[in-house]
Each structure stands twice: as structure tokens, then as C-alpha cells.
Structure 1
């Protein structure tokens, strides 16, 4: 499967993961909204918090695959859904975005409140950007129980990734994202007609247009460029103060060239990067891995190193 497109599409179509049934929980937020969580508990003293990608949810195969791998290694797992994801629309006009670290912080604090001694984070795609940005924002004030994190297929340069996905060759991906987002925005428009107008939505072809019209104004940004500039993890990697690993495949069809940083002045002292030749976007399919994909085995090794 040495094709970035095949690697990206295959797991969504053909992968099924058998893992123990999660315990659902609804977590209230300070702004009268709620986050929907999936707990996988086995009495461990350490917890892994998993963040999905754009228009994903906590029961996607890549989330459940990593949950299964970490459970086998003795971790409890908490997979959470961004606002409006997981099949339940949230209550507020806002939904989710690449820099919504306040919601991740809410989940992390809730997890630590359960009495865990150690907490690690993992994220995929947009959830990977969110994970790295969160660790950077915590910086010197980070809770000593947070041991580090790993992020796969990270569009850490949001503007560049938006440009990449605007290419004609990426139309199949953009159409799927916009199809799913249209359903959500129409539901929000019915609930908040004075704030959200979806007339002409079918004319939107790119994230630049979608984020200009919806994401930016609903979340306090002036436009798409302002949103991307403030929420890209790339410029904040140097602020991370715990071991953090970003893994981006070189054949990822979603990522721009700037999503492969190597300059120590950009990475800082604690962020590391790996750029395997193959893997696509949130793919890393490996049929010789005993049922575990390459990304899951890599994450397990990284989490083990955090404990050491």
C-alpha cells in the first residue's frame, strides 16, 4: 500500500476494530454546553487521552485501534468527541476548530480528577494539531502528571494544508468534508437563524471559503487567515515542555511542505518529528502487525518511553 491515497482511504472503508465496549459520559462545560466522552477503564494508574480528526469521532477505527493497543499495554483510555461530533449536536452556536484547546483542557482536567498519576495525549490530524498546541500553551504551567504526547498526520501549518486540499487532485477529500459540514451547519442554522445562514453553501469549494464564512466568525477570529495563524501548532512547537512526537508521512495528501519542520529553532528542546516515507493521512496500514497498524505500535513505544 505504498500510495498515500490508498493508505488514507483504506482504513475508513475496510477496517473494523474489536475492542471492549466503552463507558459513555457526558461532561458539562463552563459555557452550558457538553462534551461526549468514551472511557475504557481497567483500573490503571495512567490515562491516555485520544483526540480524533476533522469530522471524526471517538469510535473511528483509528481511535479504537490505538485504544486497543494502549489497553493491552496497561493504560486506561479516554477518547472524546469534539463539539458536534459523535452523532450529538452541541448546544452553543460554536462547534469545534483546530485551536479549541479549552475543550481539550476540560477533558484533561476531568481525567486527572479521577486520580490518575500519569496522563499522556495522542491526536490524529486536526486532533494532533490540537494536542501539540495544547501542550505548547500549557508550557511552564503544565501539570506534572502530564508526561507528553504523540500526534499523527498533523496539519500544523493550517493555511498550507488548506491550500493543499484546495487542489483539484484533492477534490474527493474536500467534497466529503464539505458534505458532512453542510449537514451540521444547516442544523445550526435552524437553531440559530440570526447567527448562521447557509444560503449558497453549495458554492463553497475550499476550507478558505468555509472558514471565512463559518469557522472564523463563530469562534472569534476576523477571517480564515486570522484563524489559521492563531491556531497552527507549527509556530508553537518550541514552547512545548514535555516530550512530544509528531509523525507525518511524506506521502500524506493533506499536508503542505511546512508540515515537515526540521529546524531546531522551530522544534525547540522537547518536540521531535518523524517523517516515514509511507502512511498517507491517518493511515499507516500494516497488515503484518498482528492486527495493529504501524502508527499504533509506534505510539505504544513512545508512551513506554514517556513512562521511563
Structure 2
């Protein structure tokens, strides 16, 4: 499909990528949305907490929403999406990835950018409820990469899956990691690393034989974290092997449902390889929108509804 023209034209403040990213991540609040939490058991005996929001009238259409690195279903960008989608007539299932709901998960492993088996488990759970005839996937950052990988893995997709929207996606994980290691992203990287180390130290208390103090002391960067924990806990050789196997870029060509990717050109987390222009130009199902502004999940909009929340609803309605 040709690249989509973007109509996102924010005010001067939100033209700054860092200011829009920080506002969306730390300042914006979305309070007027109900979320009902349930816990499901995964095939490996671990669990996921998922937060449900419902349209005002009974709906047969459901949007599964996936947060980004160290996010949760309680973040403003998830709750804002749930509010817009439920008001649009869709039920919403917002996944808290392993260890992200406020309760530590049971196993040594956690979540990562390519952990599509957990998404598959949630979809299987939803389908056995037999309440929905149409499912849509919606993800942000890491969650966007995860859903794109899932859609392109040449698995037999349930026919109920009709389409997807992915926002601020690091389609090439090593390229994104390189950007996060630059000085321009030092504050973000420090915050991510601090949160990840806190969780790793909690896991060390439960699995002292698997992680030593000297290993934790070696972690100076996000790549170190992936070398020492993420890769080893999830069956990869090292961080680069994890990035190579989990990047969604290599799976885009095999996506067979209408899928919208929105990546801002001033997203400091994304490098050149995270903008799959050539693939989108020749792809029947992948639509790519590249707004000039937006930062990382930092799109703004009137009445506390972001541009991407509105665009997501428009796109999903267009394929419903």
C-alpha cells in the first residue's frame, strides 16, 4: 500500500519530540475509564493479569491492547485507548505482560519484545469464551513489535482476528537499542534500567541460584541487561541474538490482515530501520503513517483524546 499522509499537526509545544514523550508518559492522566481485572493461568503455570473495559452496549468486537517496555494496563496511553475504543462500541482487553501488573510473576522468565506465545495464550482464552466474532490487536512500542511479530509468524491465525494497529514500534530492535544508548535518550534509558534492575533484584530473591550480585553489578546499560538477564532467561544466546530473532521487521512481509503502523519521524527511540517504508509501499495489508511529530507514544489531541487513539478507532472501524 502507498504510505498514508498524516493529518497530525500539533501545537508548538507538542512539536518537540522529547516534550511530547514526557507529557504523554508522566503528566497525562486518564481517570474516567473502568477496568475490571481478571487473572488467567498460562500453559507454563505462570499467570497474566488482564484488564477489561466494556462498551455501553453489548459488543461482539474486542480490541486486545498491549503496553510497552515497563508499562502496564494502568498507563494513560492504555486507558486512553480503552476509553476511545469502548465509546466507539468495542470491548477492550488490556494485557499486563508478565510481572507488569503490580504482582511479580511466578517464574524466572518474564516478558520480552518477541514473546508471542503469551499473546497467543490470551487470544486462546478469549476465543474459548465464545463471546466475540471479531478481534483486533493494538500495541504500543514493545507491544507493537510483539503483535506485528505474532501476525507475521506464518502461524494459522484464528479467523476472528481482523486487523491491527501498532504505535511507535521499534521494528528493528538493535537499531532502537542503539538509539536508546545515545546521550539524547540518557534520561529514558536510565529510567528503564532502574525499573528493570528493581525487578531483577526481586527475582534474585526468589531464584538466587540463577542471578548473582556480581552479574547485577555488570549491568551498566540496557544492552547489558539483555545480555545478562533477558537473553539467558528466555533461551537466546545473547542480547544481539534476542534482538535478531524478536524484531518484527522480518515478519512484516507475511502479515495477512490490515495493519496500521504509526511511527513519528521525531521519535528519538527509533532509528532508520524502524521505518519500513519499502515494505509498506509494496504490501497489500501493511499501512504505514509517518507523522512529522509525535515523539515516542507522545501524540496529543483535543479533549484528552490523542491523535493515535482517534486514528486507531477510525482504522478499526474501516475494516470492521
TM class, shorter-length: over 0.9
Figure out how many residues of one structure are paired with residues of the other and give that number: 304
Per the TM alignment, residue 208 of structure 1 is displaced from its structure 2 partner at its CA by: 1.7
Q: Secondary structure in 1 aligned to 2:15? A: coil
Structure having greater relative contact order (Cα 8 Å, sep ≥ 6) = 2
Greater displacement, 264-273 / 164-173: 264-273
Tell me, yes or no, if the aligned pair for 1:174 and 1:205 is still in contact at 8 Å.
Answer: no
Aligned equivalents of 2:280, 2:148: Cα separation in 1: 16
Q: Which residue of 1 aligns with 2:25?
A: 12
Q: Which residue of 2 aligns with 1:179?
A: 194
TM-score of the superposition, structure 1-length normalised?
A: 0.95
Aligned equivalents of 2:181, 2:285: Cα separation in 1: 33
C-alpha distance after superposition, 1:183-209 (max 9, x if no partner): 100010110011122436355332221
C-alpha distance after superposition, 1:247-291 (max 9, x if no partner): 1000001001111111138963311211100000011012xx232
Matched, 1:209 2:224: yes
Aligned equivalents of 1:222, 1:158: Cα separation in 2: 16
Q: Secondary structure in 1 aligned to 2:152? A: helix
**Distance 1:133-1:40 versus aligned 2 partners, 3 A rule:** same
Tell me, yes or no, if the aligned pair for 1:238 and 1:269 is still in contact at 8 Å.
Answer: no
Aligned equivalents of 2:78, 2:151: Cα separation in 1: 20
Per the TM alignment, residue 77 of structure 1 is displaced from its structure 2 partner at its CA by: 0.3
Matched, 1:67 2:67: no
1:117 aligns with one of 133, 139, 145: 133
**Distance 1:14-1:264 versus aligned 2 partners, 3 A rule:** closer
Matched, 1:246 2:261: yes
Matched, 1:282 2:288: no
Tell me, yes or no, if the aligned pair for 2:140 and 2:168 is still in contact at 8 Å.
Answer: yes
* Matched ranges for 1:155-234 at <5 A: 155-199=170-214, 201-234=216-249
TM-score of the superposition, structure 2-length normalised?
A: 0.92
Q: Which residue of 2 aligns with 1:137?
A: 153
Q: Which residue of 2 aligns with 1:258?
A: 273
Matched, 1:37 2:50: yes
Tell me, yes or no, if the aligned pair for 1:112 and 1:119 is still in contact at 8 Å.
Answer: no
Tell me, yes or no, if the aligned pair for 2:219 and 2:228 is still in contact at 8 Å.
Answer: no
* 5+ residue gaps, structure 1: none
Q: Secondary structure in 1 aligned to 2:112? A: coil
Q: Secondary structure in 1 aligned to 2:49? A: strand
* Matched ranges for 1:16-27 at <5 A: 16-27=29-40
Aligned equivalents of 1:107, 1:198: Cα separation in 2: 35
Q: Secondary structure in 1 aligned to 2:39? A: strand
Per the TM alignment, residue 111 of structure 1 is displaced from its structure 2 partner at its CA by: 1.6
Tell me, yes or no, if the aligned pair for 1:234 and 1:266 is still in contact at 8 Å.
Answer: no
Q: Which residue of 1 aligns with 2:9?
A: none
Aligned equivalents of 2:282, 2:176: Cα separation in 1: 19
Q: Which residue of 1 aligns with 2:307?
A: 294
Q: Secondary structure in 2 aligned to 1:280? A: coil
Tell me, yes or no, if the aligned pair for 1:235 and 1:266 is still in contact at 8 Å.
Answer: no
Q: Displaced runs of 4+ in structure 1, greater than 6 A?
A: none
